[in-house]
Chain A
Amino acid sequence: AQSVTQPDIHITVSEGASLELRCNYSYGATPYLFWYVQSPGQGLQLLLKYFSGDTLVQGIKGFEAEFKRSQSSFNLRKPSVHWSDAAEYFCAVGLRNRDDKIIFGKGTRLHILP
């Protein structure tokens, strides 16, 4: 069955430090890949997405993600985090077949130390 794994439930980094959030998926083909961010009390907002082409994808708010087919991974990165980046981050996959579902990982909550 298709699945999305975010191995880190919580991550804490200092403001100004670099960030990498991990995401692995299980699927027989290359899916569509997404990263969403959820601020407290809010819905989810798309940060970036990968459909095809260049495997390094740039998103909003200075985030980027790299698709690595050999590792079935789509890790999210940011070179220098800001206190406003504290939120929950969700990796998601969309399935390239008749089934148009988007499956979400369980999320990684990011905490920022001043």
Chain B
Amino acid sequence: DAGVIQSPRHEVTEMGQEVTLRCKPISGHDYLFWYRQTMMRGLELLIYFNNNVPIDDSGMPEDRFSAKMPNASFSTLKIQPSEPRDSAVYFCASSAPGIRNTEAFFGQGTRLTVV
């Protein structure tokens, strides 16, 4: 397996624009996590899914953020409208079923810059 795949790797956008980040989890994994990493706040869990269903979105900072998982092999994180303070590295991770809280496998991240 190629691991967790995120796209794009880098995104630069203007304030007010819509941004969509994409993630393909490892095949067979039924947990998918979206994290945001900044210097100030470290690694924050935004939302996670189990079997394509959102379980906990309490980490989503504002209504401008939304995430979907239409099927087991694809998830999106959308920011609309984007703001400069959304600039961060966004990571997607997935983990296997059967054992709760087992290892999470991370993608390489999307570095978002909002100017």
Contacts and interface: CB of A to CB of B under 8 A. Distances in A.
Contacts of B113: none
B101 A43 contact: no
B104 interface: yes
A106 interface: yes
Given A106-B42, A107-B43, A44 B100 contact: no
Contact of A42 (B31, B41, B45, B108): B108
Contacts of A99: 55-56
The DSSP consensus for interface residues of chain B is: strand
Contacts of B41: 106
Interface string B38-60: 00011101001010000110000
A44 B42 contact: no
B42 A101 contact: no
B25 interface: no
Given A43-B93, A102-B45, 19 more contacts: A41-B108, A42-B108, A43-B91, A43-B106, A44-B43, A44-B104, A44-B106, A90-B43, A94-B101, A96-B101, A99-B56, A100-B48, A102-B104, A104-B35, A104-B43, A104-B45, A106-B41, A106-B43, A107-B43
Contacts of B43: 44, 90, 104, 106-107
Give the bracket for the number of chain A residues in contact with chain B: 20 to 34
Nearest to A95: B101
A18 interface: no
Nearest to A44: B106
Contacts of A104: 35, 42-43, 45
B103 A43 contact: no
30 contacts: A31-B101, A32-B100, A32-B102, A34-B103, A36-B106, A41-B108, A42-B108, A42-B109, A43-B4, A43-B91, A43-B106, A43-B108, A43-B109, A44-B43, A44-B93, A45-B106, A46-B105, A49-B102, A49-B103, A51-B99, A90-B43, A99-B56, A100-B48, A100-B50, A100-B100, A101-B48, A102-B45, A104-B43, A106-B41, A106-B42
